[in-house]
Amino acid sequence: MIPINKPLLGEEEINAVVSVMRSGMLTSRTESGSMVGKFQDAFQRFVQAKYAFAVNSGTAALHLSLLAAGVGQGDEVIVPSFTFVATAETVLLAGGKPVFVDIKPDTYNIDPEAVEKAITGKTKAVMPVDLFGLPADIKPIKQTAKEHDLIVIEDAAQAHGAEYDGKPCGSLAHLACWSFYASKNMTTGEGGMITTNSDEYAKNLPYMRSHGEKEEYVSSIIGGNFRMPEIEAAIGNEQLSKLPGFLKLRCNNAKRLTELLEDVEQLQLPTKPRGGKHSWYLYTVRLKGSNKGRRDTVVEELRKLGIGATVYYQVPIHLMPLYHKFGPCNLPITERAADQVFSLPIHPAVTPEQISYIATSTRKLLE
């Protein structure tokens, strides 16, 4: 089976982990001289942010960012429904209410016009997602947020190496959240990062991720145990150094797959960003005019052929049982996408021969 994604780990990561284990320092509350501090500095430079704070998961990054932004009981946060559930569940964990809006049919990212229409007197923040590695259209969202005094928290969990308007993702949001889960473009096993250019947020985030303790065993602000272990940071340092090579291979695979499938009329291929750069976390196609049953049949047949085609977000968040209490949502573009899209493998371990096999097999199935 050609998996949909695969972590690429080498002797460098193994040696880095062994070095941490031999040191005996598996976690630290301070960053000076630690693997976490080194990883933060390197990631900060990579995304061209003023500050970076490592945490223990991408979900933790979202949760902590919402807390730092002051989201609490009664506050509304505008989010897409076509994304991983963590985007919305962290709003609940912070005490807020997720307000779901529709997406653009070509990018699958949150629709800036829908964001503006959803704003009420209770709206506190907007959380756009760079879905599948394609940057969300952040400029109009940031402008709307400025007009209504809202905070923009960018879910960049899938966007390592992506660019918007010539700059790394996360550069325009007040806070950007990253994930290093095993399937991502780079991994630490679990783990996440918050980046920001705000001095205000940077004052409290280091303490918030360690129980709000500004001095040892004395909590001054809300927080929790969001710390990243040293072993994860050690892996992250090695992975980050390899990320440009990973991204180049992903891009080449995506480009080749597009060339081989662009004349298949039944498929809507991924959108190429204008003035930006796709990170190609996932290569997601749409089976035009299909229903969920036909899409699922195609995916099942591809998997029988050894191709790890996968459907992401086939149940949008607003249709999940936990979120029914917020009432019905009119999200036709989201629901149609959830019934029609599927993703094909293009990760760095996929060979040119396998890309040709994936394209040929997909074409034959549809023909």
Task: Give the C-alpha separation, 257 to 255, whole Å.
Answer: 6
Residue 2 domain flag? no
Closest CA relative to residue 226, chosen from 93, 103, 344: 93
User: Which of these three, 209, 238, 267, is where a domain ends?
Assistant: 238
Domain count, the chain: 2
> What would the two tokens of residue 62 be?
């979202």
Residue 6 domain flag? no
Same domain for 228 and 92, yes or no, is yes
Same domain for 193 and 315, yes or no, is no
Residue 333 domain flag? yes
Prediction pTM value: 0.95
pLDDT, residue 33, reads 67
pLDDT, residue 121, reads 97
Helix (H, G, I), strand (E, B) or coil at 287: strand
Task: Give the C-alpha separation, 174 to 197, whole Å.
Answer: 7
User: What's the CATH code of the domain at 255?
Assistant: 3.90.1150.10
Same domain for 323 and 352, yes or no, is yes
> What would the two tokens of residue 79 be?
């989010």
Task: Give the C-alpha separation, 100 to 243, whole Å.
Answer: 33
Residue span of the structural domain in which 266 resides = 244-366
Alpha helices for the chain (secondary structure H): 11-23, 35-46, 58-68, 86-93, 112-118, 138-148, 199-208, 230-261, 292-304, 332-340, 352-366
Residue 3 domain flag? no
Task: Give the C-alpha separation, 154 to 315, whole Å.
Answer: 22
55 sits in the region (left: phi over 0; alpha: psi -120 to 50; else beta) called beta
Closest CA relative to residue 316, chosen from 79, 148, 106: 79
Same domain for 159 and 300, yes or no, is no
Same domain for 186 and 69, yes or no, is yes
The secondary structure of residue 189, as a DSSP letter, is B
Which residues lie below 8 Å from residue 182, measured CB to CB, with a gap of 6+?
7, 189, 190
Task: Give the C-alpha separation, 245 to 59, whole Å.
Answer: 26
The secondary structure of residue 180, as a DSSP letter, is -
**CB-neighbour burial class of residue 42 (10 A; exposed 0-12, middle 13-18, buried 19+):** middle
Residue 4 domain flag? no
Q: What angle is formed at CA 55 by the lines to CA 110 and CA 189, rounded to 5 degrees?
A: 90
User: Which of these three, 238, 258, 275, is where a domain ends?
Assistant: 238
Decide if 291 contacts 337 (C-beta within 8 A). no
From first CA to last CA, the distance across the chain in angstroms is 23
Same domain for 264 and 224, yes or no, is no
The secondary structure of residue 321, as a DSSP letter, is G
Q: In the chain, which residues have pLDDT < 50?
A: none
pLDDT, residue 111, reads 98
pLDDT, residue 218, reads 84
Residue 111 domain flag? yes
User: Which of these three, 238, 259, 279, is where a domain ends?
Assistant: 238
User: What's the CATH code of the domain at 223?
Assistant: 3.40.640.10
Same domain for 214 and 251, yes or no, is no
Residue type, 94: A
pLDDT, residue 17, reads 96
What 3 state SS string does 131-158 have?
Answer: HHHCCCCHHHHHHHHHHHCCEEEEECCC
pLDDT, residue 30, reads 67
Same domain for 184 and 251, yes or no, is no
Which residues lie below 8 Å from residue 351, measured CB to CB, with a gap of 6+?
none
H or E segment and range at residue 177:
strand 175-179
Same domain for 192 and 256, yes or no, is no
Residue 142 domain flag? yes
Residue 109 domain flag? yes
pLDDT, residue 215, reads 82
Q: Which pairing describes strands 76-80 and 123-126: parallel, antiparallel, or unpaired?
A: parallel
Phi, psi of 344 (to 5 degrees): -115, 150
Q: Beta-carbon neighbour count of residue 325 at 10 Å?
A: 7
Same domain for 191 and 270, yes or no, is no
Task: Give the C-alpha separation, 150 to 129, whole Å.
Answer: 16
Same domain for 322 and 308, yes or no, is yes
Same domain for 132 and 49, yes or no, is yes
